[in-house]
């Protein structure tokens, strides 16, 4: 359960736990959720759920499972921090930015430590 303390420890543990369930779930965090498109009148649009084949539905389900795994491992404050996010990647990114800062902040911290 992540309560806002020791984010690095929690982050590594969550990555290991999620990858152990299935690699596709971790990919949902790293690469955005699977959203199938198809072409209608030369325009790409979301393919309706009822037209998806089983393999496509399974790939889409990774994001839902990942959101469940993430929110189940958060205390109430952290849960509400990410509850408005649309997908697992956005949730992960929100936690990362909140507790680590942006890449620029991380680089500046490392540079300061080296100095």
> For 72-87, how does the pLDDT look when each residue is reduced to its tens digit (9 = 90+)?
999 999 999 999 998 8
What residues pair up with 43 in beta bridges, in sequence order?
Answer: 40
Asked, for residue 2, whether it belongs to a domain, the answer is no
pTM of the model: 0.76
Q: What is the mean pLDDT of the chain?
A: 85
Asked, for residue 96, whether it belongs to a domain, the answer is yes
Q: Is the pLDDT of residue 34 over 80?
A: no
Task: Annotate 81-95 with b (16+ C-beta within 10 A) or e (fewer).
Answer: bbeebebbbbbbebb
Asked, for residue 40, whether it belongs to a domain, the answer is no
The count of structural domains within the chain is 1
What is the chain's Cα-based Rg?
Answer: 17
Asked, for residue 107, whether it belongs to a domain, the answer is yes
Three-class SS state of 2 = strand
CA atoms of 61 and 15, how far apart (whole Å): 18
Res 63: pLDDT:
85
Asked, for residue 56, whether it belongs to a domain, the answer is no
Residue 89 lies in domain: 7-34+63-114
Among the ranges given (7-16, 18-27, 38-47, 89-98), the one the predictor scored with the smallest mean pLDDT: 38-47
């Amino acid at each position: 359960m992540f309560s806002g303390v020791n984010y690095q420890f929690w982050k590594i543990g969550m990555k290991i736990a999620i990858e152990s369930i299935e690699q596709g779930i971790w990919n949902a965090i790293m690469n955005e959720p699977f959203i199938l498109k198809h072409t209608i009148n030369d325009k790409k649009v979301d393919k309706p759920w009822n037209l998806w084949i089983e393999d496509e539905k399974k790939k889409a389900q990774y994001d839902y499972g990942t959101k469940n795994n993430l929110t189940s491992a958060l205390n109430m404050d952290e849960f509400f921090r990410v509850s408005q996010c649309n997908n697992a990647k956005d949730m992960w990114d929100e936690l990362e930015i909140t507790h680590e800062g942006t890449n620029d902040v991380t680089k500046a911290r490392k540079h300061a430590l080296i100095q």
